[in-house]
Amino acid sequence: MNRNEDVRGGNYAGQKLSKENICAHLGDDYDRYLGAIVPPIFQNTLFTRKTKSHGYTYTRVSNPTLETAEQKIAALEEGEQALVFSSGMSAITAALMYFMEKDCHIISLKSAYTPARKFIDTYMTKFGVESTFLSGENVEEFEQAIRPDTKIIYLESPVSNVFSMQDLEQIAKLAKSRGIATIVDNTWATPLFQNPLLFGIDVVVHSASKYLGGHSDIIGGVLISSKEIAESIMHNERGMYGAVMDPHQAWLLTRGLRTLPLRMEKHQQSGLEVAKFLQEHPLVEKVFYPGLKEHSQYKLGQKQMSGYCGLMSFIPKGAVLPITSMPKAMDIFEVGPSWGGFESLMNFPGAGITPEASELTGIPAGLVRISVGLENVQSIMEDLDRGLHSLTRSV
């Protein structure tokens, strides 16, 4: 099937669909499901086939409800095939394990998602895997770090907490010339605003718990790649490890995808407004957000992304109280480790961080990360203003 083919048939068959129409209709297959505008949940473990083979056997391997979400995401990412997983980490580890070899070397980023980094530099050491972590802002860093046993370059663009970017096209070219696989976590930009496969990246992963789901009610992950890679992972790294998304979660993911374009438009609009507000605020020292023209890599972002989300970070200045006291003065923001839902959240990766830990992770002291939700943007800015001013009050 062509990745942008509308599988509903009828007047739309074979047409290249917009991303809005992919989210709204692709894979829903109305004829197959008695015209149901919302496809049913196949909440079953197995598929019997006494008289007719239909291609399904066991939900741990495949299921029609999972495939509806997978078709939409594959088309959004301009990939041949997508697989949904029980969590973002299961998608990340499956991609890494597919390419990984005993005693190999992996290149990644200092500020990569902490559990992903821990899997690479802690858990995989029992298999002799070695790793090098870079800031990732220059292609020369990667070229200098490559060794004869380097098998994987694991990227995240923009990267967690500090939102610096990597030149995906140049890194993909470098990796292919050396026979090295590339994996990118594309959760921040979503498939609407960035498509790494088009730059030559081998595998894209997402935490579906964030913007793809959008309602803070699912835990899931997605992997998108060539059909050859995806089918192997489906039967091995996903099927054997049992890391498949359950049908109800997949159904909720499809529900979230239907409103993804509308939600991301709002997240982008509010995100840019909040980032500019923070940049101009007298109590903010620095803002980390690729959508600001003052960002050191703004031109790179314009080259490889078509939009921005609502996740950013900043460092307050003039604080008397610890940054973790901010939420006490705030009404809208809640404190939590996730992001990408309808609600505004904050956490404090730079709270109490030592100079040694800051050098190791790339996270500066005092860093506050916020996820701008779907609330009224004026109320969000007023809430941040209250929180910032509360830090300057002496005890």
| Alpha helices by DSSP H, the chain | 19-25, 64-76, 88-99, 114-121, 139-145, 168-177, 190-193, 227-233, 247-258, 260-280, 298-304, 355-361, 377-390
CA quadruple 166, 170, 176, 177: dihedral, nearest 10: -130
Task: Please tell me the predicted confidence (pLDDT) of residue 54.
Answer: 81
Side-chain-facing half-sphere of 335: CA atoms under 13 Å: 13
Task: Yes or no: say if 4 and 22 are a contact pair by the CB < 8 Å rule.
Answer: yes
CATH topology of domain 260-390: Aspartate Aminotransferase, domain 1 (3.90.1150)
Tell me the C-alpha to C-alpha distance, in Å, between residue 372 and each of 219, 287, 337: 20, 14, 13
Reduced to 3 states (helix: H, G, I; strand: E, B; else coil), residue 31 is: coil
CA distance 332 to 269: 18
Q: How far is CA 255 from CA 69, 111, 249, 252, in A?
A: 9, 31, 10, 5
Residuewise pLDDT in 10s, the chain (395 residues):
333 444 333 334 456 789 999 999 999 988 888 899 999 999 999 998 876 678 889 999 999 999 999 999 999 999 999 999 999 999 999 999 999 999 999 999 999 999 999 999 999 999 999 999 999 999 999 999 999 999 999 999 999 999 999 999 999 999 999 999 999 999 999 999 999 999 999 999 999 999 999 999 999 999 999 999 999 999 999 999 999 999 999 999 999 999 999 999 999 999 999 999 999 999 999 999 999 999 999 999 999 999 999 999 999 998 889 999 999 999 999 999 999 999 999 999 999 999 999 999 999 999 999 999 999 999 999 999 999 999 998 54
User: What is the rounded CA–CA span in Å between residue 292 and residue 301?
Assistant: 10
State the span(s) of the chain assigned CATH 3.90.1150.10.
260-390
With H, G, I as helix, E, B as strand and everything else as coil, classify residue 371.
Answer: strand
- Chain centre to alpha carbon of residue 144: 27
- Specify the domain boundaries for CATH 3.40.640.10 within the chain: 10-258
Give the model confidence (pLDDT) of 305-321 as tens digits. Answer: 999 999 999 999 988 89
CA 207, CA 31: separation in Å to the nearest integer? Answer: 31
Q: Cα separation of 289 and 307, whole Å?
A: 12
Q: Cα–Cα distance between 221 and 212 in angstroms, integer?
A: 9
Selecting from 3.40.640.10, 3.30.230.10, 3.90.1150.10, 3.40.109.10, what CATH number does the domain 10-258 have? 3.40.640.10
Tell the residue number behind the tokens 């495939």, with chain if given: 67
